[in-house]
Amino acid sequence: MSERVLDLERKMERHSEAIENLERWQAKQNGSLAKIDDRLHSLERWIMATLATAVVSLLIQLATRR
């Protein structure tokens, strides 16, 4: 019985360590995801600005033809 209790205590300790490692990994991943989100948002703004410039250029060209 005592050996069984010791075995369970060791398993609990390993599980606790694994959970701590997973929580640290998750925090690191959340930071990485936030950086990726910021970069994608910046890229989205750049694409929208480029599209707006192209549309304005097209409208100016159409307006000067008439």
- Give the 3-state secondary structure percentages of the chain, helix then strand then coil, rounded to 5: 95, 0, 5
Residue that has been written with the tokens 């929208």 in this structure: 48
Half-sphere exposure of 17 (CA within 13 A, CB side): 6
Q: How much is the pLDDT for 1?
A: 82
66 residues of the chain, pLDDT tens digit each: 899 999 999 999 999 999 999 999 999 999 999 999 999 999 999 999 999 999 999 999 999 987
DSSP class of 5:
H
CA angle 62, 52, 58 (to 5 degrees): 15
